[in-house]
Amino acid sequence: MLKLYSFGPGANSLKPMLALFEKFTFGQQFTVHQLNPRNFEHHADWFKALNPRGQVPALEDANLPEGANIITESTVICEYLEDAHPTAVKLRPTSHYDVAQMRCWTKWVDEYFCWCVSTIGWHRHVSTMVKDLSEAEFEEVVARIPVFEQQVKWRRAREGFPADLLDEEMRKVAVSVRKLDDHLADNEWLAGGVYSLADICNYSTAAHLTMGYDELVNTEDSPHLLRWIDQIKARPAVVEMYAKVPREF
C-alpha cells in the first residue's frame, strides 16, 4: 500500500497524485492523506518526522522497512513510482532520447516554471493565511518552519513581496506560457509523443494559469496550451482524481 501526504490537487502535490491515479486503484493500492495548510499541519512535529523539510508531497511505501519508507520531492516520487512500482501504464517514453527530453521538461518545471507561478500564488492566495495573525501567532508559525528560505517566504507573504520581484516573476510566467504553447503547437504531448511525467509535472503548475492570468492564457494567445490542459483534464484518471480528492478544506 502507498500513502501520499499532500495538500489538495495543485502544484507539487498534484504531480504524484496524477501519477498514482493513472497507475493504481484509489483506496485499494494507494490512499491520500491530506494535510490542511491553513492549520500549518505540514509544520507539525509528526509530519516533520516524516519529511524534515516540512513540505508536501511525501510518499510512504509500506513495502519498505520502517524508518526508510518515505520518498520526498514531487518529481522524484513520480520517477520512484515508475521504477519501484511498474504497471501496464507507463508514464515515461520508451527511448532513452525521449526520456532525456521528458527530464528536460520536468527539470524545467522544477527549476524555473513552478517558482515564478508559486511566488505569484503566494502573493495572491497564501498571504491571506497569515495576514490576520497577531505578531506573536505569526512568530509561532515561523518558529515551526524548518527551512530558513521558507521562513523568509512566509515573512514576505505577510509583509508583501517587493513589486519589482512580482514584475520579474510575471515576466517569467509569460516566458513559460510562450515556451509551452510554442512546443504544443507542433506536438500533442511534451515528450516522445506520449502522455508522460513531462505532461504531468508541467500540467500541475500550468493548470493553475487558467484562473487569474487572462492576459497571458487565452484562446488567442495560447490556444495550444489550453487544448493540452483540456486534453489532460478529460483523461479518466484525472476526472476520477478531481472527483475523489477534495480541492480544499
Ligand X SMILES: N[C@@H](CCC(=O)N[C@@H](CS)C(=O)NCC(=O)O)C(=O)O
Q: Which residues lie near ligand X (CB under 6 A)? A: 7, 11-13, 42, 55-57, 73-74, 150
Between 146 and 160, name the residue whose CB sits nearer to ligand X.
Answer: 146
Buried b (16+ CB within 10 A) or exposed e, 178-187: ebbbebbeee
Between 13 and 196, name the residue whose CB sits nearer to ligand X.
Answer: 13
Give Cα separations from 53 to 70, 227, 249 (angstroms).
13, 36, 23
Between 7 and 195, name the residue whose CB sits nearer to ligand X.
Answer: 7
What is the spatial distance between Cα 17 and Cα 7, in angstroms, rounded to a whole number?
10
Between 9 and 93, name the residue whose CB sits nearer to ligand X.
Answer: 9
Q: How far is the CB of 48 from ligand X (least distance, A)?
A: 11
What is the spatial distance between Cα 78 and Cα 90, in angstroms, rounded to a whole number?
11
Q: How far is the CB of 204 from ligand X (least distance, A)?
A: 9
Alpha helices per DSSP H over 36-113: 45-50, 74-84, 96-108
How many CB atoms are located within 10 Å of the residue 8 CB?
18
List, in sequence order, every residue forming a beta bridge with 30; answer none if it has no partner. Answer: 2, 26
Q: How far is the CB of 227 from ligand X (least distance, A)?
A: 26
Between 10 and 223, name the residue whose CB sits nearer to ligand X.
Answer: 10
Verify cis geometry, omega within 30 degrees of 0, for the bond prior to 57: yes
Q: How far is the CB of 156 from ligand X (least distance, A)?
A: 12
Q: How far is the CB of 92 from ligand X (least distance, A)?
A: 18
Q: How far is the CB of 165 from ligand X (least distance, A)?
A: 18
Q: What angle do CA 112, 3, 1 make, to 5 degrees?
A: 130
Which stretches of 53-130 are assigned E, i.e. beta strand? 58-61, 70-72
Between 173 and 226, name the residue whose CB sits nearer to ligand X.
Answer: 173
Q: How far is the CB of 230 from ligand X (least distance, A)?
A: 23
Grid cell locating 84? 519501484
The residue at minimum Cβ distance from ligand X is: 55
Between 55 and 222, name the residue whose CB sits nearer to ligand X.
Answer: 55
Angle in degrees, 0-180, between the axes of helices 223-233 and 163-186, rounded to the nearest 10? 80
